[in-house]
Amino acid sequence: MKILDVPEETWQLRSGLNVYLRPLQSTDLALHWGLFYRCSRQSLFQRFFQLPDCQKITDADVERFTNFDRSRELAITAVQYPSQVEELGVVRLAHLGGGSAEFALIVADPWHRQGLGRKLLEKAIEVARFQGLQSLEGYVLSSNQPMLKLCRRLGFEVSYADGFYEVQLALNGSAN
Ligand SMILES: CC(C)(COP(=O)(O)OP(=O)(O)OC[C@H]1O[C@@H](n2cnc3c(N)ncnc32)[C@H](O)[C@@H]1OP(=O)(O)O)[C@@H](O)C(=O)NCCC(=O)NCCS
């Protein structure tokens, strides 16, 4: 099964800033570089479970996030609208087989607490449901209370697994 379709839309942060939600393209390399630089070390750690050395990140590293197997993965990005020159956040979905997909989410620090993390995760859930997936799962560090709170609010089941939490949402789809 392919995870390909993302309904694009404009949306407004609590601050009033407009963003455009669309699939991340392989041509978004420069845009995606910018996202990393607007994330704090703590946010990067919470997303990647390790601390990437920003001084040592290469084009090839960033390219892995923009140039991926689009038959089984997708990334939904939120870019400033209408300029589309800055990326504020991104949610990724990777099909795991068996009707399930894994998600990962990050919002750059200047735009935290403006509803974007929730919006991106809701969008990922919507796409996964539309694709007929049965469940969505992710991994959250035990220190990451904001993300755990967000997941609980969206109905994810949260279970502890040795230093991190596994979060899982049943979607009741019919894909396999
Ligand atoms: C977790 C993260 C995605 C939240 O994004 P965000 O855009 O700031 O979140 P939102 O504004 O949509 O908040 C949604 C809800 O999450 C919870 N939340 C978010 N940040 C919070 C914080 N700092 N403290 C407490 N609750 C928080 C709240 O319930 C919030 O709802 P509310 O604002 O109505 O109270 C963001 O902090 C982030 O990118 N963190 C680093 C990467 C990461 O942790 N990724 C998760 C691993 S997959």
Q: Is 116 in the pocket of ligand 1 (CB under 6 A)?
A: yes
Residue span of the structural domain in which 94 resides = 9-170
- Residue-wise pLDDT tens digits, 138-152: 999 999 999 999 999
Lowest mean pLDDT among 85-89, 95-99, 145-149: 95-99
Number of domains present in the structure of the chain = 1
Q: Determine the angle formed by the axes of helices 59-66 and 29-37, rounding to 10 degrees.
A: 110
Q: Residue 34: inside a domain, yes or no? A: yes
pTM of the model: 0.95
- Which one is predicted more confidently, 41 or 172? 41
Q: Residue 65: inside a domain, yes or no? A: yes
Q: Residue 164: inside a domain, yes or no? A: yes
Residue 176 pLDDT more than 90? no
Q: What is the CATH number of the domain that holds 104?
A: 3.40.630.30
**What number does the ligand 1 atom closest to the CA of 141 have?**
47
Which residue is closest in CA terms to ligand 1's atom 5?
117
Instruction: Report the 3 state secondary structure along 146-171.
Output: HHHHHHHHCCCEEEECCCEEEEEEEC
Alpha-carbon gap, residue 87 to 108, rounded angstroms: 8
Residue 1 pLDDT more than 80? no
